[in-house]
Amino acid sequence: MENKENSAREQEADDFLNVASVKEDWGGDGRGRMNLSGRRTAISPEYLPRKYQFFDTNTVSHDPEWRINGMPDDVSPGRRRLLTWHDCGASTSIIILPPHFKAASGIFTADLEIFVLKGAIQIGEWKLTKHCYSFIPSGVQIGDWQVLGSEDVEIIWMENDYLQYKNLSNNHPNARLNEFIPVLDSKLLPWGKTDTFQFEVAKKKYLRKDANGGGVWLMAILPHYDGRDQMIQSYNEEAYSLFGYIDIGNYHFAKDHFSYTPSFSTLPRHITDDGGLFFVRVDRDLSQVATVLSYPSQNT
């Protein structure tokens, strides 16, 4: 049975530009290709609808011999903490690559997003350092990879479907080159406003907008923030705490903590004295009416 599943996945990898995305469970059609719906997490092997999950990524066990599917055996393995995943192959992980890591140029068979947490890595002619972001659509040819310096590189690694590496020297004819983001240094981006009433006093830096209006951004929540009410989120969200904290109900969401919030979850009141900085991914346009609904509790 396992061999049949592997063969089916390999066939999909060969036809990767024709693989349909998962329909979002809030009613979306999958155009965003993020495949955040219906994920399992490191603390729940089964998908739990409408149940938010928060956890400290440092408590998740490592896979000490992680390799990109299809990479040659002589490429040094990295370490992986698998945070969320979907049966279609989409996943979000923390990847640690050693200083001697090198990999040849090629293409990937699924969209790949990376956000650097620590260290530096060269990808082709582009250097990515702390808090740099890249979006590599399936079929786009990229240059050689090499970790720079003597320290490990730590990356939030987001595969948006079943991903394989292929040693090809050219772009696929139908690759979405117009969406390719080789490197984006978030430190150089201006802060803008958020899209929802609940976080209007926070600041936001867009890293990428996807086809249906969702996307990836950094959000800075200012000190003394108090959301006052609990809220219903009508979309899927992943978030990682880079700095500071926010208390969500009784949970202290601090540095290195991760959240997966399925659509239509009701989240408790958000409050912080000191503020924080968070990396966020969402599969819906939050500027649309009723994507976030305040829901006063009886105890407020």
> To which residue do tokens 């139908």 refer?
174
* Fold match, 2-185 / 188-295: yes
Cβ-contact 233, 195 below 8 angstroms: no
Cβ-contact 133, 207 below 8 angstroms: yes
Burial status of residue 37 (CB atoms within 10 A of its CB: 0-12, 13-18, 19 or more): buried
Q: What 3-state DSSP class applies to 170?
A: coil
Domain boundaries, the chain: 2-185, 188-295
Encoded tokens for 2: 């396992």
Cβ-contact 290, 284 below 8 angstroms: no
User: DSSP for 113-157?
Assistant: EEEEEESEEEETTEEE-TTEEEEE-TT--B--EEEESSS-EEEEE
Encoded tokens for 121: 């890595």
From the first residue on, what is the mean pLDDT of each consecutive set of 10 residues in the chain (300 residues)?
Answer: 51 64 88 94 95 97 93 92 96 96 94 97 96 96 95 97 91 92 96 78 91 92 92 95 97 98 96 97 89 72
Q: Amino acid letter at 96?
A: I
Cβ-contact 138, 108 below 8 angstroms: yes
What pLDDT does residue 300 have?
A: 44
Query: What is the rounded distance in angstroms from the CA atom of residue 27 to the CA atom of residue 29?
Result: 7
The partner residues of 238 in beta bridges, in order of sequence, read: 260, 281
CA end-to-end distance (rounded Å), the chain: 53
Q: How many CB atoms lie within 10 A of CB 149?
A: 11
Nearest to 125 by CA among 138, 142, 137: 142
Question: pTM for the full model?
Answer: 0.92
Among 2.60.120.10, 3.30.365.10, 3.40.50.10300, 1.10.10.60, name the CATH number for the domain at 2-185: 2.60.120.10
Encoded tokens for 300: 């407020």
Among 3.50.30.10, 2.60.120.10, 3.30.420.40, 3.30.930.10, name the CATH number for the domain at 188-295: 2.60.120.10
